[in-house]
Each structure stands twice: as structure tokens, then as C-alpha cells.
Amino acid sequence: MLAVLDPAVESHVGPELANTGTWHGHAGFREMLSTWGEAFATQRNTVVSLSFPDDDHVIAETRQAGVGAGSGVPVEMTVYFLFEVPGELAVRVHLYADAEAALAAAASE
């Protein structure tokens, strides 16, 4: 995945989701994924669909299923990854809880 990310990529998980924050660079992207994954004892991600609201953005609807790390409770949710790709590499990867928020963010950038 790092091969398609700009070395200075901005990664962000908004306050409507768990483990929020903003990270920078490839190391930051890895840290974001690690922080996100800490909530799960096991986790599976499936890309449901891709949409292209304009020439610079891709929205990936993903279905995440897993077992809570602390609770042992099965968890399923849909998360939307917004990629901003103004050239060959993604400069932003943001996570949203719903498609409307991802679309609004793409329109405002």
C-alpha cells in the first residue's frame, strides 16, 4: 500500500470513529492502521465498492468485521476511506463513518 502513498501522506481518523487522530508520512500511516487495529483481537476488511466523485478523489466503502480486543464481542461496521490523489500518489487518506461525510470532505478539498 505504501507504494501508492506520497511520502508525506496525511492520514486521519475523525472523531465519529474510534482511535481518532492525524498522522503524517508512511510511518504515520502505519501508526494509524496499528492504532485502528488495536481495538480488535481479530479483524477482516473487505472493499465493498469504489466511487470516484471527481478527478482527484477515490472513496472506498469497506466492511470491517472482527472481535473486540477487550470485550470479545463480534463487531461489524462500514467505514469509508477517502483517498486524495491529485497525481500519481495519494496525499491524503481519511476515514469516515458514512458516505455523506466522505463525499462532503472530497467536495471541500
Q: Which residues pair with 59 in a beta bridge?
A: 51, 82
Question: Which residue's C-alpha cell is 465498492?
Answer: 49
pTM of the entire structure? 0.89
Helix ranges restricted to H, 4-98: 25-37
44, 68 contact by CB (below 8 A): no
pLDDT of residue 37: 80
Provide the β-strand partners of residue 21: 13
* Residue 42 lies in domain: 2-108
pLDDT tens, residue by residue, 30-85: 999 888 787 888 889 999 999 999 999 999 999 999 898 889 899 899 999 999 99
The CATH number for 90's domain is 3.10.450.50
Count of the separate structural domains present in the chain: 1
The neighbouring-strand residues paired with 80 are 61, 96
The CA distance from 35 to 91, in Å, is 20
